A and B are shown apart, each in its own frame.
Chain A
């Protein structure tokens, strides 16, 4: 703190017991990346900027819409249609021009995440969809970078810190190992959300971020806090590592970059069913590993194309022979092969595109006649 303005600006927190100049200096030196400048992101960004976090990155590829203003309190009607990251950056600059604000007007992907995250000390997940949340979680677990997590739905919110420092630190996969499929969880666009709830959970996330940086208090490490805005109930849970979930975190940057998080969370299982025509293309081009998941001796026999025979019940333990990045499973009528897709999706975790032959081999043979 070499600037007399800083003493004036941060005076009310400088005089706090256990805070002082040392904590303020930690904030000024800190580099925090906030993913999502929406309902949670707005209050997080406002408070981190006001508190004097020295460098704040903002990732968002969205533009401001009228239905955002109910909860995304940084923006006004003058910002409609403009990129959120850029608008947030200039508005925050007016609040505090003594810190550096870096807008990244782009979507977070598995191609840019690791490079971007490496530039920051703490990542804050204020995103609004599961593909991004799992992408952020896996990147932070891989890079061993602390993640402040928060999420909201309707009148309720959840937050936690995944510190990713010691072997006993949990991450989001220890809580929810696999992303939900479409329809299993409502998004805010589907289920709605109370604007002020985003403010409450967002400010709590900012609070946890400040505690993590300055070392004051007891941050929510390895604990999940939930809040219900209708009855003011807080509920705190302790989390522990699930050893079997460690394998879900990528081992190398290359493995991570190959993952398709949108696919992993895509959920319309129907998108994972292919018809006979698409299937025939795969066979003709020899693009895919084809797996017969029926029991041995089930008829009809299939000699028309090369295929591996791995019965559904033994599939989970017999995947070492699967080499292609595209895999098609089939069974008699297309039901067991859907289960096979789910099993293989879990094992390969987005690194392969796995399909089921719709209608099964019976339908395929019928069309061939």
Chain B
């Protein structure tokens, strides 16, 4: 499973991270927050296979997960 982090999230945990043994987005997020506590203070949207999701979703070894924070700058 590939996990990409954008913006400030990458400053906390790096732009690509790996997490083993999770089967859905909820457990992935829990595991990420445990491994990188700084992430739990930040706001972000979650995409699976390049689609933004709004509820828990099953993941497979082939899933591509992206976490994107909002940007305010202009």
Contact = CB atoms under 8 A, between A and B. Distances in A.
A196 B70 CA distance: 20
A221 to B, nearest CB: 14
Contact of B50 (A153, A180, A238): A238
Contacts of B8: 153-154, 185-186, 191
Interface stretch (A103-111, A127-135, A341-349): A127-135
B45 A151 contact: no
Contacts of B72: 128-130, 133, 151, 153, 185, 187-188
25 contacts: A128-B73, A151-B71, A151-B74, A152-B74, A153-B7, A154-B7, A156-B7, A157-B71, A174-B52, A174-B54, A176-B70, A180-B70, A184-B43, A185-B69, A187-B73, A188-B72, A198-B74, A228-B6, A235-B66, A236-B50, A237-B52, A237-B66, A237-B68, A239-B52, A240-B51
A193 interface: yes
Given A175-B45, A184-B43, A185-B8, A127 B70 contact: no
A157 B1 CA distance: 25
A36 B74 CA distance: 8
Interface in B48-69: 50-52, 54, 66, 68-69
A57 interface: no
A350 interface: no
Given A154-B7, A156-B7, A191-B8, A40 B43 contact: no
B41 interface: yes
A38 interface: yes
Nearest to B50: A237
Interface string B6-33: 1110000000000000000000000000
A365 interface: no
Nearest to A35: B74
Contacts of A356: none
Nearest to B55: A242
Nearest to A178: B43
Nearest to A37: B74
A300 interface: no
Contacts of B42: 184-185
B68 A226 contact: yes
Interface of A: 36, 38-41, 125-130, 133, 150-154, 156-158, 174-176, 180-181, 183-188, 191, 193, 198, 224, 226, 228, 235-240, 242, 244
Given A175-B52, A238-B51, A185 B74 contact: no
B7 A238 contact: no
Given A153-B8, A224-B52, A130 B70 contact: yes
B47 interface: yes
B3 interface: no
A158 B66 contact: no
Given A150-B74, A151-B74, A152-B74, A226 B45 contact: no
Contacts of B66: 235, 237
A130 B50 CA distance: 25
Given A176-B45, A180-B43, A235-B66, A185 B50 contact: no
Nearest to A40: B74
A193 B74 CA distance: 9
A150 B74 CA distance: 8
Contacts of B4: 235
Contacts of B50: 235-238
A232 to B, nearest CB: 13
A217 B6 CA distance: 28
Contacts of A244: 54
A154 B15 CA distance: 14
Contacts of B68: 158, 224, 226, 237
A128 B41 CA distance: 22
Contacts of A38: 74
A39 B52 contact: no
B14 to A, nearest CB: 13
Given A153-B7, A198-B74, A237-B50, 18 more contacts: A38-B74, A39-B74, A127-B74, A130-B72, A133-B72, A153-B73, A158-B71, A175-B45, A176-B43, A180-B70, A184-B43, A185-B72, A187-B72, A193-B73, A237-B47, A238-B50, A238-B52, A240-B51
